[in-house]
Amino acid sequence: MAEITAAQVKALRDRTGLPMMDCKSALAEAEGNADKAVDILRKRGAAAADKRADRETGEGRIVCCIDAAKQMGAILEFRCETAPVANNPEFKEMAEAFVKAAVAVPAGEAVTPERVLDLPLPSDPSRKCRDLLTDVVNKIRENMQVVRVERLQGTLGSYVHFNGKLGVLLQVEGAADAELLSDLCMHITAMKPTALSRDAVDPALIEKEREIARELALKSGKPAQIVDKIVEGKISRWYSENVLLDQEFANVDKFKGTVAKLLASRGNVKLVAYQRFEVGG
């Protein structure tokens, strides 16, 4: 068996970032061959990651990326087990690498969390995102997972909250400048709309809301002739609270009125789609 020197162990540790004893063990198994030792460590890391796969991931980050030239953007939720790891620089860099990889996929092709891991790393196309994940999990030793990813194409804006736990990706049509895109993203972040327009709301949900409102109005003893008005008033209020275009614009210092009126005032900018991700949401 080849003798493993302290210098060899240190060099492998510097190369992989893994504990000294792990590096020494891998070098011994590889009979001193550093490249083989790296492969051994990666295989061990992949096996360890599989064992951790069932552990709960309650923390993480939301990341966004937009390629203005291609008019393609992506938003991704990347989870881990603990808050310190969610703020770890390597975890943050990995999340950014993954969302950039998702943006690079040609338009029209589906991008799923599983596919993200099989995409080439933007910084090193000879390796996959999965390889980087294995390396980082091997060092940090927590379960990490890409939970969801979505893409939009066109005129885009994005926002990620300072704590990394909430983000928005937005698509519009029309002459929307960077300030308007930012304002809309901030509004969506704060107001949590559940649908873009009334047409996007499930009719069954609205019918259920009507039933509840009618029942409450009748139980309260309201005259039958005004019950319909009360019900429609409550439905209108529901739309104003949950539908993006019906919501009052959050930044009243800039504009007083609904989001729909704000868009109309800016040359009939059309809001096409949005994705709002919150860690664990």
**pLDDT, mean of residues 44-59:** 73
How crowded is residue 114: how many other Cβ atoms within 10 Å of its Cβ?
A: 10
What is the tally of helices (H) and strands (E) in the chain? 11, 8
Q: Residue 57 and residue 15: Cα distance in Å, rounded? A: 28
- Find, among 279, 230, 276, 239, the residue nearest to 260 by Cα: 239
Least confidently predicted of 10-19, 121-130, 148-157, 182-191: 10-19
**pLDDT, mean of residues 117-141:** 91
Render 74-129 in DSSP notation, one character per residue.
Answer: EEEEEEESSHHHHT-HHHHHHHHHHHHHHHHSPTTS---HHHHHHSEETTEEEEEH
pLDDT at 53: 62
Q: At 27, which amino acid appears? A: L
Q: Residue 78 and residue 96: Cα distance in Å, rounded? A: 10
Give the Å distances, CA to CA, from 78 to 21, 51, 63, 137, 187: 30, 19, 8, 13, 23
Judge whether residue 200 has pLDDT over 90.
yes
pLDDT greater at residue 230 or residue 102: 102
- In the chain, pLDDT over 70 holds for what percent of residues? 97
- Find, among 69, 269, 276, the residue nearest to 179 by Cα: 269
Q: At 182, which amino acid appears? A: S
Phi, psi of 175 (to 5 degrees): -85, 75
Could you tell me the domains of the chain?
Answer: 6-52 (1.10.8.10), 59-189 (3.30.479.20), 198-268 (1.10.286.20)
Structure tokens, 231: 């019900």
Judge whether residue 50 has pLDDT over 70.
no
